[in-house]
Structure formats: C-alpha cells, structure tokens
Structure 1
Amino acid sequence: MIGLKDSDKKNYNTRRRTLLYLIQKYLNDYGYPDIATTLKSEALLNDYEVCDNIDIDIIFLEYCSYQQLKFELPEEWKQFSDMIMRTTLSKNSKIHFKDIIGNDEAITTIKEAVILPLENPLLFENELKPWKSLLLYGPPGCGKTLIAKALCSEIHDYMSFFNITSSVIISKWRGDSEKILNTLFIIARNMAPSVIFFDEIECLTNERNTIHEHESSHRLKSEFLTLLDGIHDSNDNIFVLANTNVPWLIDSAFLRRFEKKILIKLPTIDERQALFHYYLEDSKKWPNHIMEEIKKLSNGFTGDEIRISYVIEKKDVCVNSQLLIDILKSMKPNSYSQYEKHCQWQEEKGSMDRKN
C-alpha cells in the first residue's frame, strides 16, 4: 500500500484479517467446514471467537470498508469508486474467441498482449514487454464489441474487466470527470491484472481544438493522456482496449499512445459462407449453386447484417434458401462505402497485416 501512513497501513491489514475471519465464520456456519478449514490454514488465522450473527450484509459492509482503504482514495471519491466497480464485468458472456469467424489478426494480437504474459511470464522478464494498448476500428457491425466480449469470457476467471462508456466518465460537475478517470485507473491497478475496455472511445478523445474546445474537455483529455502514458511507463499489469467506428476523429496524441491499431474487416466470401452455416444449420445441405448465389448477394455485408438476415428468416416456420435469397435481395450493405474509408485510413495510420 504505497502512499499510506503507518496508521492507515495497520488499519488496512486489520480490516483485511477481520474480513477473512468473518468469511471463515460464515462458511463454517452455513455448511462448508472443509473450505473454512482451508481458509484458516492458508490465511494463518488464529482461533478467535466471532459473534454468531454473521450474514452476507455484515461481510459486504466490512468488504466496502476494506476496499476503501485498498484503493487509496479520498473519502469524497468513494462515490466514484462505487460507480466504477459497477462497470466491472464478472459474468461470462458465453462468447469465446473460437466462436468468432474471421478477424484472426486482432484475436491473435489480443491473445499475445493479454493472455500470453499471464500464461508464460518468463517470456517478458527482460526488455521484451507485451502490448499495453490496442485500438480496434472498422464499420459498425464488424465485430469490435464482440471481440471485447469474447476477451472478457476468456479471462473472467483471473482478470478484472472494466466496460467503460463515455456516460460513465462524463460528469456535469466541474472536475469530476478527471476524478472518475483517475479512480478507474487506480482501481484497475489495485485489481490487476486488468483490462479496461473503452467502447466508442472517440467520444472521449476527439481532436482537440484550442479555439472552440471547452476548458473541461481539454482538462479531461490531458488527464487521459497522462494516465495512458502511465500504463506504458510502469510495470502495472493493465491493458487498454478500445474500439471506434470513426478513427479519423480521434486526436493524433491518443492515436500515438495506442501501440496497435487494427482494422476489423468485412467478412470474406469464405467467412460469409461460414457465418450462414453457423446461423443456419440447414444451409450446409443446400446445393453449391444456391450457396454461391447467397455468397454473391451478401458481398459487402457485415457479420451483424448477415445475422439480421438470419433473424428475419427465422420468423418463418419453414427455413428455405429461396426465402433467404429474397431477403438478401431486399437488403443493402450499409457499411460498404464507409469500409473503403477505413481501408484508406489503415494505409495512412493503422497497423498493417502481419503478412505485410
């Protein structure tokens, strides 16, 4: 607990042991004596007599007090820490990397940056360091948020995952936005290893304009830049993942701090076929000329648009290829023209494919 006074350190350790005693007593009372014995042995707990009215509410209140000291936050920031803790995703979304079709480069890079250092820490003992930040960009519906959900599922047992939107950070009160952002990184540092996911990050990092920009917006961006510098300059096990549909709106200072910028591409012709087979099991039995027409009609569609065509067809009791073809003919790819702009931006500022 760097930065705490000696008296606070003692109070912190006392709170921690008190919490362990309460949990051990609760486990004993509610039919888990083996687990309680293991906890007592591992935590080196003594045979203290604890009151007999321990319940979940008492344990929770003690836990809140313990966390307040652990995060080294001023009392006035407690409301911010409570709000940040609510963004922590602890549930498994049941979507894993193996369920995602395409975008292998982005998935491989995320695995190397987040999962590999935990599974093989010896690889990063010397000067070699894993990526600390990654920006995913591309048209809406290509799978940027889906990849983040899959990462959360892959790591939910041993890492903290914070799902942050602009509504969490932005406050109408002067100075509170910077405090919330600071609180987020303090909590992520104390709960490390951690992943902070910023959804639609352009809302927080749009290009700075010294003439028309409000002072509070400028202060928030300056604080954000400082915090991003901090994760790169330290050994804190924090990974920042962000996505955006409009990378050209992000300020160049923020782009520089994202070590990898990866385009989430539209599905290829083979990936589109795999998507139809994934959503429609019967499509695997359709003749080749039917599938060729379906793949041709779905050119330029995002994965989400292919999913929507499946949802529309699913309302019909009888699933058949002709109905799907009619639906695809009535749909237009909304993101295709914007995708060309993303490809151009990739040539100028993005991270190139590994094969290049």
Structure 2
Amino acid sequence: MKMKTQGKYGVTATAAAQVLCEDVRNFSTRRRNILYLMHRYLVENGYYSSAEALKTEGRLTEEYELCDNIDLDGMYLEYASFFNMKFGKYPKILKKMAPKIKVEMAAGKNQEKSVAPPKEILPPKKQTAEASLANWHLGVGAATAALNEQPLQIKKMETTAAADSMSGQENRACEIEHGHLGGDDALFSSLDWQSLAELVKTSILQENIKLRWSDVCGNQRAIELIKEAVLTPIEFPQLFAHGLKPWRSLLLHGPPGSGKTLLAKALYSETQGQVTFFNITASIMVSKWRGESEKILRVLFHMAAKRAPSVIFFDEIESLTSKRDRATDHESSKRFKNELLQLLDGMEHTLNGVFVLASTNLPWDIDEAFLRRFEKKLLVQLPNEAERSCLISRLLGSSISLNPRLLEQLVAISDQFTGDEIRLACKEISMHRVRCATKVGDHRSTGASSKESQAVMEANVEKAFRQVRPLGQKLLAKHEQWQQENGS
C-alpha cells in the first residue's frame, strides 16, 4: 500500500513530524546542531577567534544557518524552567572543584650510592631475558624505595595569571548583574548588558524644554512636595546629614489632562543640568525575551543610583503595576512586578539620591504592594476659579481682547474643566481666527460691521468653550474618594 503524500494537514504533516523526530534522535544531526548553536553564541558574545576555530574544526559550512527563534541562552532558560516545573527546583549546572594538589618529592641531602652486587654469568639467551626482568624489578624497586624513604609534600596548585583574570572577570560580571559596581559607562563588559545600558540611556531626557514653576497654574501642594524631594536636598544638603532622608517616591493621580505630566516637565526644566531625568515608558521596559525586562529594570535603577541625583518618571504606571492576582497575568509579568517591588523597597538603603515620580489616571488598578512603596500619594486637583481665569487670560490674551464680562463668562462655562480642556478650547478659538484670516472675501471696515464682528467674536469664543465636554467631571468624584481612602 502506497502512502499518500497529498493533503493539507494529513499524511504530509505526519511525515514531516517523523522526519523532525528522526533528526532529533540522530546523533550526527544533533551534534551538528549543537555546534551551530555554540558558534552563534560565541559570535554574539565577542569570542570571534574561538568561533572561527570552532567553525574550522567542526567543519561548519555556509549550507546551514540557525533559525531566528532559537539560541543557546533561550534553550538554557527553557530547560531551567522545565526542570523547576518538574522537580520543584532549578538545575545545578556548575559545581566547585576541590583544590588541586601536587606531590613533590623532597630530595634527600645525603643520598648514598648503592653498589650493585656481582652478577652471575649466564648463557646469552637466558642472560637477555634475565636482564630485562632485572631491569624491570630494579625500576620498580627504586621507585618504591624513593617513596618509602622520601617524605611527600602536598601543596595546593598555584593560581596562574590566566585563572586570576578569569576569576576577576566572573566576579566583575556577578557585580554587574547585581548592580554593585561603579562607573556605569565602563562596567558593562558583557555585550548583553551593554545593549541594555544603551537602551536605558535612550530614556534620559536631553531636550531643551523652557518651562517654569510659574507656568503651572495651581497644584501648589504637588509642586511643594516635588521641590522637597528633589531641589531641597541639592540646595540644602546639611539638612539631611543626620539621618533624615527626603521623599523618595511620589504618585500623582487625577483625571486625564489635569497636569500630571506637565508637573514632570516642569521638574525636568527646572533641574536641567543638575539632575539626571529618566523618562520611562512601557516600550522600554517590556521585552519579548525571557528575563530581559527584569534585567532592564536592574540596569535602570543601577544607572540612576550611579548618576544621582536622578529622577525616574513612570508615566501611566498602572500599565506596569496592575494587580498581581489576575488570572490573565502571564508568568513574565509577575516576575517583572516582583523585581520592581524589590527595587523600590531597597531604595532607602542602596539607591540614595534617586526619586521615583509616577503618574496614573487609574490608581485603583494599581496593586496594593506598589501603593505601599509610594511614600506620598497626591490627587492633582482641577483648577479653581482664580486659576482658570489666570490660565484663560494667559492663553487668549495675545490673540483677542478679553473684557472682564467675557472673561467672567468663560470662567463660569469652564467649571470642572481640566487644564488641558481649557487649552483645547482656547486653541479652537485661535484656529477659528486663522480660518477667518485665510478666507478670501470682502473686508468691510464700517463701524456697524466692526461692532458686529466683535459680537460674532464673543459668540464664537463662547461656542468654543461650550463645545468641550469635560471628562474630568465624571472621574473627579472617584479620584477624591480614592484619595480619602488611600492618599497621604
């Protein structure tokens, strides 16, 4: 009976699976695959001479290349996870060797020469056989006598310079991994850690932002806390010389558009040149490779500590710190959160000079363990009447003339508006004037038309403000209740 080869998922798939199974079980195929894996690992880690030697001795050709989704490090991690899941512990790959010893023969100072007894004359054939046997006994006897007479001296093998350098590199790599080595520009000797360090460096803000604390309308309580945490230790270090430590973490929450990110921008602008500012997003932290997100976190906090004073700003932190008891959470997400919890908790002792600033629109989605790590949790309030008046005058004062009556009316309309919603309404007014200026038509200059244009302008201004549907009004009550229960 002939086997059919057609079929989309039938015999063809079965035959392919059998071929793959045979490849796995075949010793020569398995050996070839391992050699290619080792070759790629050596190349990726900079061992180019060793990789070339392996390619020559292993007779690796250009006929084959490794698939993109396989590497030696990934196989190691998968095996460790499988071993842990099966036996409840991780495999022990290496073990320390016992100290090597060498045996030295202490040469006797007064060695007596042995006098050979007179030999008996034998026939030629018998003489030859007896001579070879006598020589063998003589050699064994001499060695036995030397061992019996001379004391043994057992010494540890001296460590060579190469072994010293290798041990130093291993200790250095260990210190890098645990974040205890200084000088982050020169400490990452491994290519993996260098690439992670370069990724983290891209989050350091270098932009020239012109923003001052006076440009922020309202939120004076948040500004005072940020100044106490960042600026006061720089300007008055003697105040914190006797055990007192500044605030090391602050969580800002409030409706979208209330000014949380604006406060972070103002902090960066006011401390530019004095403080290293890390702007962290989920795209930098989350990696598809197993265990790499935790490494990025460790590199981030290590670099922040070495470049202190520094600020780590997590925008929309609820995407990284959601509750851990959800059934949909992946194992990698749980490991990442546990690593972040450990780093935040250890800041007081190991990461001096690092301030963590975070913002969120959904504080009730953050895990309670992360909330405990934040020393201060503050609600960013909506602007009050005086602050709205100041903000509208600042945004519209250069484009239109605001009389007191119109300004008072706009302030009343913008009740429960966030600062960003007021900005959008004022931008709509400015864009309307741009549309009018770009229209091609008749331009009348009579007094009546001038009064009419003033009335139309005021109507358009009111219309622009009434078009805005405030989103913060829906969430403000929920944020206020959460602040009463969890805020500090």
Selected match of 2:325 from 179, 184, 209? 209
Residue of structure 2 equivalent to 1:322: 459
1:105 to 194, 212, 221: 221
Take 2:189 and 2:361, find their aligned partners in 1: how far apart are those partners?
Answer: 34
Structure 2 contact 217–390 (Cα < 8 Å) conserved: yes
Matches within 5 A, 1:157-196: 157-196=273-312
Task: Find 1:219's aligned residue among 335, 340, 356.
Answer: 335
Residue identity (%): 45
Q: How many residues are treated as equivalent by the alignment?
A: 291
The answer (yes or no) to whether the contact 2:305–2:351 under 8 Å persists in 1 is no
**Alpha carbons 1:277, 1:284 under 8 Å: kept:** no
Q: 1:290 aligns with which of 406, 409, 418?
A: 406
Superposed displacement of residue 208, structure 1: 0.7
- Is the contact made by 1:283 and 1:321 (CA closer than 8 Å) also made in structure 2? no
Q: Deviation of residue 233 (structure 1)? A: 2.7
Q: Which residue of the partner structure matches residue 331 of structure 1? A: 468
Q: Which residue is 1:69 aligned to?
A: 186
C-alpha distance in 1, partners of 2:481/2:349? 31
* Deviations 1:119-175 (CA, angstroms, capped at 9, x unpaired): 000000112110000001101101100100110111111110000011110011110
Q: 1:108 to 1:6 in 2, by over 3 A?
A: farther
Distance change (3 Å), C-alpha of 1:127 and 1:304? same
SS of the residue 2:320 aligns to: helix
- Taking the TM superposition and a 5 Å limit, the aligned residue runs for 1:30-41 are none
1:21-60 to 2 correspondence within 5 Å?
none
Deviation at 1:327, TM superposition (A): 1.1
Counterpart for residue 48 of structure 2:
none
Show structure 1 runs of 5+ residues with no match: 12-65, 352-356
Of 429, 454, 468, 1:313 maps to 429
Q: Is residue 276–residue 283 contact of structure 1 (8 Å, CA) maintained in 2?
A: no
Counterpart among 247, 250, 256 of residue 140 in structure 1:
256
- Residues 1:79 and 2:209 aligned together: no
Worse-matched range after superposition: 296-305 or 203-212: 203-212
In structure 2, the CA distance between the partners of 1:131 and 1:286, relative to structure 1 (3 Å rule), is same
C-alpha separation in 2, matches of 1:7 and 1:256: 39
* Residue 383 (structure 2) pairs with residue 246 (structure 1): no
Aligned counterparts of 2:263 and 2:362: Cα–Cα separation in 1: 18
Distance 1:109 1:5 in 2: 49
Distance 1:291 1:82, change over 3 A: same
What SS does the corresponding residue of 2:329 show, helix, strand or coil? coil
Instruction: Encode CA deviations 1:259-310: one digit per residue, 9 max, x unaligned.
Output: 0011111110111111101101158953333222211111111100100011
Task: Give the partner amino acid of 2:465.
Answer: L
> Match of 1:189, SS?
helix
- Aligned counterpart, 1:57: none
> Partner amino acid for 1:114?
V
- Pair 1:104–1:238, CA change in 2 (3 A): same
Specify every segment of 5 or more residues in structure 2 that has no aligned partner in the other structure, as ranges.
1-164, 173-182, 437-453
CA deviations 1:220-268 (Å, max 9, x no partner) are 0110000001212336210000000000000000000000011111110
Shift of 1:210: 6.1
CA distance in 1, matches of 2:167, 2:254: 50
Q: Any idea what the Cα deviations from partners look like across 1:200-234, whole Å, max 9, x if unmatched?
A: 00011001116442111111011000000121233
Superposed CA RMSD: 2.3
> Which is worse superposed, 138-147 or 85-94?
85-94
Structure ranking higher on relative contact order (CA contacts 8 Å, 6+ apart): 1
**C-alpha distance in 1 between matches for 2:303 and 2:334:** 24
Match of 2:269 among 135, 139, 153: 153
The 2-side partners of 1:114 and 1:6 are apart by: 40
Q: Could you say what secondary structure the match of 1:89 adopts?
A: coil
Question: What CA distance in whole angstroms lies between the structure 2 residues aligned with 1:260 and 1:118?
Answer: 20
The structure that has the greater radius of gyration is 2
Give secondary structure in 2 for the equivalent of 1:324. Answer: helix
Q: State the SS of the aligned residue for 1:136.
A: strand
Write the distance in 2 (CA, Å) between the matches of 1:220 and 1:194: 22
Q: Deviations over 1:299-342 (max 9, x none)?
A: 11110010001111101337943321111122211121111110
Q: Distance in 2 between matches of 1:150 and 1:295?
A: 25
Amino acid at match of 1:219: R
